[in-house]
Chains A and B, each alone.
Chain A
Amino acid sequence: MAKIIGIDLGTTNSCVSYLEGGSPVVIANAEGNRTTPSVVAFKDNGEELVGENAKRQAVTNKNTISSIKRKMGTAEKVEVNGKKYTPQEISAKILGKLKADAESFLGEKVTKAVITVPAYFNDAERQATKDAGKIAGLEVERIVNEPTAAALAYGLDKQDKLQTILVYDLGGGTFDVSILELGDGIFEVKATSGNNRLGGDDFDNRIIDYLVSEFKKETGIDLSKDTMAMQRLKDAAEKAKKDLSGMASTQINLPFISQKEDGPVHLDINLTKAKFEDLCRDLFDSTLEPVRKALSDAKLDKNKIDQVILVGGSTRIPYIQDLVEKELGKAPNKGVNPDEVVAMGAAIQGGVLTGEVEDLVLLDVTPLSLGIETLGGVKTTLIPRNTTIPTSKSQVFSTAADNQPAVDIHVLQGERQMAADNKTLGNFQLTDIPPAPRGIPQIEVKFDIDANGIVNVTAKDLGTNKEQKITIQSSTGLSDADIERMVKEAEENKEADEKRKEEVEARNNADSLIFQTEKAIKDLGDKVEENDKKEAESKISDLKEALEKNDTEDIKKKTENLQEIAMKLATKVYEQTAQNNQANTEATNDTTSDKKDNVEEANYEEK
């Protein structure tokens, strides 16, 4: 069945995606990038360029056309070398490249597409977009609103109730706010607003201006006259902006940016997140006006908004995210790449049209990790969260004490490192383990989750094949909010939990080392030198003391101290075992040679 590709035909950049195994996948262009500049160029020799290539030669060629989307639906034509092109013909060239890139990626012909347009596009603009597709050799199966596509990518159409969605789209050069109402799978646009001259470049320019003025203050040199220096500043500003989405400050350093009589001058400026926000605050805050306008046009109070979606690369800026959350009192949906979310939604719409989405077996995932409690109250995960079900996983465990007759299997669900902080799903015991030293019995614990989310946990003694199992009917019983809370708690407590786990591990290690050393002393009996024995015993008692005091660092130190002598003893035990084995082997060899003799004898007799 032929694929329908989803295309986000943007003002500055475009993106193409398709549905694979039910999930949207972005197709990289021939140059290896996931978005393609919406730029078309006509060269004097008749050659046409689209994308990065066209953008790179823009200053040398006046017949380079960008932002054609702004002219869609108008009668305005672009004249190139005496030939007139309609906006849809120019757009068709961009679509043609996206189509060709998709074909080379998929290895098959592509003839059908879903293309997105801004929610405020009128009939003429939509028709022009559809025509552009046709010119490019694409049957446009559907024109979808960009905010609707974003909502589809977030799966918001899968909820049963009527809901109101606000989409905040701050892209490279335009800002759009749309309010949608979704019910029964139908999206209705309630209001749109925005500013078609605001975007990421404006924030970069604020950083550049700041760097230029700071540099001038420091050195008296005006970099704005130096093209090459400005180019370096532009790259540095963009990088700094990106860095500040994840860090509190960034160092911008551009060595040899300029020359003075007494030698080279370097630019070295620290830009904090707070300073960056100061520089752009008025621009950021100016986006609130259209948000409020859209709400009032839709005659909606902000608390009537059920979902907020962020689209466009600039919504990665933490200030913007906080601003939107504060204004609307609702945490925005995040997680899907904001540069690609619209194209992905278009691909999903394509899948709905081919029936691929409906046919799809919706496989669930485990919302939280599943595991069991192990020595010292630690949770050991067998099935991590977000694993697609049905699935099964097994792991072999052992006993913690000599002659332990039974093991308790405590089945847990959650993300915390200590067993007690997770939810208990069930408990059972595997009994009748034959007497054996600790660590010797092999108990296989198997988790099996079927497609309905029913969990079977089986514990099996691999020595006796005796097994015991428990079935947990509903592994969740948890609301989305519960799950979110549990995951959040785990994140918040990550450090503390890790410390506690480390403590337990240190104790477990110490405990097992004491056990091994004591066993070695016992096994060696009189073969161990009195000095070694005394040293080991004193170090064991040191470590035991540390264990009582429960000082992790001390336990670790004392464990290390004991390690050395323990090794020495272990080597002895090993040597002895080897000796014994050798003796045994010799004995075996004897028997073999005896047999051999017999055989030979027999042979001889036969002869």
Chain B
Amino acid sequence: MEEIVEENLQEETTKEQEAETKKEKNKKPKNNKEIEALKEENARLQEKILRISAESQNMQRRYTEEIARIRKYEGEAFAKEILPIVDNFERAIKLDDNDLTDELSKFLSGFKMIYTNFITILNSKEIKEIDCKDKEFDSNFMEAVLTEKIEGIEKNQVIEVLQKGYMYKDKLLRPAMVKVSE
């Protein structure tokens, strides 16, 4: 083992000598043509370095922005998957006939409480229902699935919300599915 170390040392000394001879060579004056070529090469490399640094700064900025955006909307995918459960809760609750004496109603009143808790949590996470009942149809937040002509109702009004839409912070999480007047 020690022998190897010595060998390494020897090798290093020869390398050092070589480096010194190289240095001496470098000191020799060069002709103008060579200097020009080197200057040009230098300028080209400078330019390239600047371009690469600019690109990397731009990338840095974009990534910072992208990460900020991802952080802001981090719950989005999860929220989207939760929505069908909210819909199903509502479908269950809708069955209630408001006659509080029967078994089903008693059961459903418990269900309603769970649902209210659920909605409170969603609201606290900035997941909020889009209000579209009786509003003018707006494709920024709603998706029209049906149209119907109804006397006395102006064109392009929401006449029924088939599935609620939700916002997540300032972003559309799911458009409301609506029926629109013709």
A residues near B (Cβ < 8 Å) are 1, 20-21, 31-32, 41, 49, 53-54, 56-60, 105-107, 227-228, 231, 255-256, 263-264, 359, 406, 429, 431-432, 468
Measured between alpha carbons, how far is A359 from B56 in the docked complex, in Å? 15
Report whether A20 and B137 are in contact in the complex, using a CB–CB cutoff of 8 Å: no
Report whether B73 and A255 are in contact in the complex, using a CB–CB cutoff of 8 Å: no
Given contacts A21-B59, A255-B91, contact A231 B144 (CB under 8 A): no
Query: Among residues 147 to 182 in chain B, which have CB atoms less than 8 Å away from a CB atom of chain A?
Result: 147, 156, 162-163, 171-172, 175, 177, 180, 182
Report whether B88 and A255 are in contact in the complex, using a CB–CB cutoff of 8 Å: yes
Contact of B145 among A21, A59, A264 (CB under 8 A): A59
- Most B CB contacts (10 A, CB to CB) among A20, A31, A60 go to A60
Measured between alpha carbons, how far is A92 from B5 in the docked complex, in Å? 71
Report whether B163 and A228 are in contact in the complex, using a CB–CB cutoff of 8 Å: yes
Note all chain B residues with C-beta closer than 8 A to A107: 61
Closest CB pairs A-B (n = 6) = A256-B91, A57-B139, A56-B143, A60-B144, A431-B1, A56-B139
Report whether A231 and B1 are in contact in the complex, using a CB–CB cutoff of 8 Å: no
Report whether A53 and B139 are in contact in the complex, using a CB–CB cutoff of 8 Å: yes
Note all chain A residues with C-beta closer than 8 A to B55: 20-21
Chosen A-B contacts, 22 in total, with CB atoms closer than 8 Å, are A20-B62, A21-B56, A32-B73, A32-B171, A41-B139, A56-B142, A56-B143, A56-B144, A56-B175, A59-B180, A60-B137, A105-B62, A228-B162, A228-B177, A231-B145, A255-B92, A256-B92, A264-B91, A359-B48, A429-B1, A468-B1, A468-B4
Asked if B101 is an interface residue, CB under 8 A from chain A, the answer is no
Report whether A20 and B144 are in contact in the complex, using a CB–CB cutoff of 8 Å: no
A53 to chain B, nearest CB (A): 5
A126 to chain B, nearest CB (A): 32
* Chain A residue, CB-CB nearest to B76: A32
Measured between alpha carbons, how far is A105 from B63 in the docked complex, in Å? 11
Note all chain B residues with C-beta closer than 8 A to A231: 145, 162-163, 177
Note all chain B residues with C-beta closer than 8 A to A49: 139
Given contacts A1-B51, A255-B92, contact A57 B146 (CB under 8 A): no
Contact of A256 among B1, B88, B163 (CB under 8 A): B88
Chain B residues touching A, range: 20 to 34
Asked if B37 is an interface residue, CB under 8 A from chain A, the answer is no
Note all chain B residues with C-beta closer than 8 A to A41: 139
- Chain B 1-31, CB-CB to A under 8 Å as 1, else 0, gives 1001100000000000000000000000000
* Chain B residue, CB-CB nearest to A264: B95
Report whether A227 and B139 are in contact in the complex, using a CB–CB cutoff of 8 Å: no
Report whether A54 and B92 are in contact in the complex, using a CB–CB cutoff of 8 Å: no
Report whether A58 and B144 are in contact in the complex, using a CB–CB cutoff of 8 Å: yes
Note all chain B residues with C-beta closer than 8 A to A105: 62
Asked if B32 is an interface residue, CB under 8 A from chain A, the answer is no
A460 to chain B, nearest CB (A): 13
B residues near A (Cβ < 8 Å) are 1, 4-5, 48, 51, 55-56, 59, 61-62, 73, 88, 91-92, 94-95, 137, 139-140, 142-147, 156, 162-163, 171-172, 175, 177, 180, 182
Note all chain A residues with C-beta closer than 8 A to B145: 59, 227-228, 231
Given contacts A53-B139, A53-B140, A231-B162, contact A59 B147 (CB under 8 A): yes
* Chain B residue, CB-CB nearest to A106: B62
A51 to chain B, nearest CB (A): 10
Note all chain B residues with C-beta closer than 8 A to A21: 55-56, 59
Measured between alpha carbons, how far is A577 from B48 in the docked complex, in Å? 62
B84 to chain A, nearest CB (A): 8
Measured between alpha carbons, how far is A57 from B5 in the docked complex, in Å? 78
* Chain A residue, CB-CB nearest to B56: A21
Note all chain A residues with C-beta closer than 8 A to B175: 56
* Chain A residue, CB-CB nearest to B182: A60
Note all chain A residues with C-beta closer than 8 A to B95: 256, 263-264
Given contacts A31-B172, A256-B91, A264-B95, contact A57 B144 (CB under 8 A): yes
A181 to chain B, nearest CB (A): 34
Measured between alpha carbons, how far is A107 from B66 in the docked complex, in Å? 13
A263 to chain B, nearest CB (A): 8
Report whether A20 and B59 are in contact in the complex, using a CB–CB cutoff of 8 Å: yes
Measured between alpha carbons, how far is A20 from B54 in the docked complex, in Å? 12
Note all chain B residues with C-beta closer than 8 A to A1: 51
Measured between alpha carbons, how far is A106 from B140 in the docked complex, in Å? 24
Note all chain B residues with C-beta closer than 8 A to A20: 55, 59, 62
Note all chain B residues with C-beta closer than 8 A to A263: 95
Measured between alpha carbons, how far is A107 from B156 in the docked complex, in Å? 37
Measured between alpha carbons, how far is A41 from B48 in the docked complex, in Å? 45
Contact of B156 among A60, A228, A431 (CB under 8 A): A60
A102 to chain B, nearest CB (A): 12
Report whether A60 and B180 are in contact in the complex, using a CB–CB cutoff of 8 Å: yes
Measured between alpha carbons, how far is A387 from B4 in the docked complex, in Å? 32
Measured between alpha carbons, how far is A359 from B50 in the docked complex, in Å? 13
Measured between alpha carbons, how far is A105 from B69 in the docked complex, in Å? 12
Measured between alpha carbons, how far is A58 from B1 in the docked complex, in Å? 80
- Most B CB contacts (10 A, CB to CB) among A41, A105, A231, A263 go to A231
B127 to chain A, nearest CB (A): 16
Measured between alpha carbons, how far is A21 from B60 in the docked complex, in Å? 11
Report whether B144 and A227 are in contact in the complex, using a CB–CB cutoff of 8 Å: no
Note all chain A residues with C-beta closer than 8 A to B91: 255-256, 264
Note all chain A residues with C-beta closer than 8 A to B61: 107
Given contacts A49-B139, A256-B91, A264-B95, contact A60 B147 (CB under 8 A): yes
* Chain A residue, CB-CB nearest to B181: A60
Note all chain B residues with C-beta closer than 8 A to A31: 172
Note all chain A residues with C-beta closer than 8 A to B147: 59-60
Given contacts A31-B172, A59-B147, A255-B88, 9 further A-B contacts (CB under 8 A): A20-B55, A53-B139, A56-B144, A59-B146, A60-B144, A60-B147, A228-B177, A231-B177, A256-B94
A362 to chain B, nearest CB (A): 14
Note all chain A residues with C-beta closer than 8 A to B182: 60
